Amino acid sequence: MAETEKITINMNVVDLGKVDLLVEQGFYSNRTDFIKTAIRSQLTTYSNVVEPLIKEKSFAVGISYFNKSLLEEVHSQNKQLDIKVVGMLVLADDIEEELAIKTINSVKVFGVLKASPEIKEVINHINHEKLMVR
């Protein structure tokens, strides 16, 4: 089963009442079913925009996982990564701040970034300051 994330939305009371009415009438099993259906519908409507952007910008789609050994390999090749993900990016807990600074040039995630608070701070700094580490 695909990884899921909880989101919270605010709706005005009239719209919420209409959703509840549709649920009561059996069109949807619950509010969540309505919201998921609406989101899927909009993603389908705009797929002609989203899909070409994913390809054009070379985004990885799904769950991307990086750990210390992978970043050490990148470092041994004197390379830096521009990580672009639609879905989830997982930066393992074994990654040290210095290694992240040396190997990650930029990060763009549409979805979820899972990393230690220290690595998130490094990523934030890299993305906003574009620091060059020598």
pTM score, whole prediction: 0.80
Amino acid at residue number 21: L
CB 94 within 8 A of CB 117: no
Q: What is the mean pLDDT of the chain?
A: 93
Contacts of 74 (CB under 8 A, 6+ apart): 80, 81, 103
Examine residue 103 and state whether it is found in any structural domain, yes or no: yes
Examine residue 108 and state whether it is found in any structural domain, yes or no: yes
Residues 125, 61, single domain; the answer is: yes
- The domain total for the chain is 2
Residues 112, 75, single domain; the answer is: yes
Examine residue 6 and state whether it is found in any structural domain, yes or no: no
Residues 61, 125, single domain; the answer is: yes
Examine residue 2 and state whether it is found in any structural domain, yes or no: no
Residues 33, 74, single domain; the answer is: no
Q: How far is CA 3 from CA 19, 62, 70, 87, in A?
A: 26, 9, 23, 9
> 36 φ, ψ to 5°?
-60, -40
Residue-by-residue pLDDT tens, the chain, 134 positions: 467 899 999 999 999 999 999 999 999 999 999 999 999 999 999 999 999 999 999 999 999 999 999 999 999 999 999 999 999 999 999 999 999 999 999 999 999 999 999 999 999 998 876 544 43
Among 102, 96, 92, residue whose Cα is nearest residue 126: 102
